[in-house]
A = this chain, B = another copy of it.
């Protein structure tokens, strides 16, 4: 709930706010009469203002007490701004190259002032729709995921620090509850919020709601999501939460941040790349059949997982004599056991990743919030074909995830389905 003193800012009142706030005004220059302000929030939950001054810029993000796209009928705590700011700071500390700096946080106003991720940065999802290759994406995002997840887990942290942090982020329960509903529940039942490309996918949506094995598996993932405090996850790491250029990758919007399963982040990212892949046929035209681009997406999926795996293990090796309490050196320091332990940990994380990735794909096709990758395909029949392939693959992946041993097996399976 909004605290006393909260008021929604518009462009005019924002200027007054900035003038009264040195940590923001100092970023913009001396003359604050000529600020350029643009509201650009295309998300569902917030106002986002880009503010450009004579000698600098900031982004101001203000959380609203409801889900913006649905309106005041779906309330949503503004305390999420606190958890977004906390997660940005924590992840930014761990991975400053890929997380925007926070300049200012105002808990009463549910307001974060942070670095403006300037053009030519665009939302990764839009780049994927446009067919743009990002040669450093896998390198960067794997670095972000490996560092943020490793350093906030018991592989690095003491139990004492871990439990303290877990307790604090339990406060972000409303957003966790929202995720649990839209990812793990609504797609599997009749819900007023669900939507799909009708009538083409009517029977596909019904098949999801009547697939007992799928529902059994998604229950297991939901329970891991709700109960397992493995690391401080971003909580919403789809391709709309990443801004990119050819040289830069910036992860934004961690308002769903909480202590949860690592695979929820890695799966969100990979699952959304797979959605982007299945949408490509809808974006193909005479000038570009997207075949080369589809290969690039698949290669990026492989590289993202493999680099994540590699970087995560490097961090583990670097800190294996550190304060992390999961695998004490006195017990686990023989090379053979080190190998066994890591293989098991990464295999479990891989299967979690595939499960969560698949669940995130399914909900984007038959749940409340869809993705522009598909929505931008104007021919409904063609869109439905793309979505049906993605849905079919995701259902198989969710059910059969434990049979996959390497990310290349996942790619083979995509290609096989899609050929």
The residue among A170, A229, A341 with the most chain B CB atoms within 10 A of its own CB is: A170
Across the interface, do A185 and B328 meet the contact criterion of CB distance under 8 Å? yes
Bound Cα distance from A343 to B274, whole angstroms: 32
The residue of chain B having its C-beta at the shortest distance from the C-beta of A229 within the complex is B227
Across the interface, do B215 and A332 meet the contact criterion of CB distance under 8 Å? yes
A250 in the interface (beta carbon within 8 A): no
Across the interface, do A219 and B326 meet the contact criterion of CB distance under 8 Å? yes
Q: Which residues of B contact A159 (CB under 8 A)?
A: 173, 176-177, 180, 226
Quick one: copies of this chain in the complex?
Answer: 2
Q: Which residues of B contact A212 (CB under 8 A)?
A: 334, 336-337, 340
A167 in the interface (beta carbon within 8 A): yes
Out of B163, B166, B220, B229, which one reaches A344, CB within 8 Å?
B220
Closest beta carbon of chain B to A368's beta carbon, Å: 15
Closest beta carbon of chain B to A227's beta carbon, Å: 5
Specify the main secondary structure of chain A where it touches its partner: helix
Task: Using A154-B226, A229-B229, A330-B190 as known contacts, say yes or no to A170 and B176 having CB atoms under 8 A apart.
Answer: no
Across the interface, do B331 and A154 meet the contact criterion of CB distance under 8 Å? no
Q: Which residues of B contact A177 (CB under 8 A)?
A: 159-160, 325
A418 in the interface (beta carbon within 8 A): no
Across the interface, do B331 and A189 meet the contact criterion of CB distance under 8 Å? yes
Bound Cα distance from A188 to B228, whole angstroms: 25
Across the interface, do A170 and B180 meet the contact criterion of CB distance under 8 Å? no
Across the interface, do A332 and B219 meet the contact criterion of CB distance under 8 Å? yes
Out of B170, B215, B220, B331, which one reaches A166, CB within 8 Å?
B170
The residue of chain B having its C-beta at the shortest distance from the C-beta of A185 within the complex is B328
A21 in the interface (beta carbon within 8 A): no
A293 in the interface (beta carbon within 8 A): no
A contact set with B: CB distance below 8 Å: 154, 159-160, 162-164, 166-168, 170-171, 173-174, 176-177, 180, 185, 188-190, 212-213, 215-216, 219-220, 222-223, 226-230, 325-328, 330-332, 334, 336-337, 340-341, 344
Other than A166-B166, A166-B167, A219-B327, give 17 A-B pairs with Cβ distance below 8 A: A159-B180, A160-B177, A162-B226, A163-B170, A164-B170, A166-B170, A167-B167, A188-B331, A189-B328, A189-B331, A215-B341, A216-B340, A219-B341, A220-B344, A223-B326, A227-B230, A228-B229
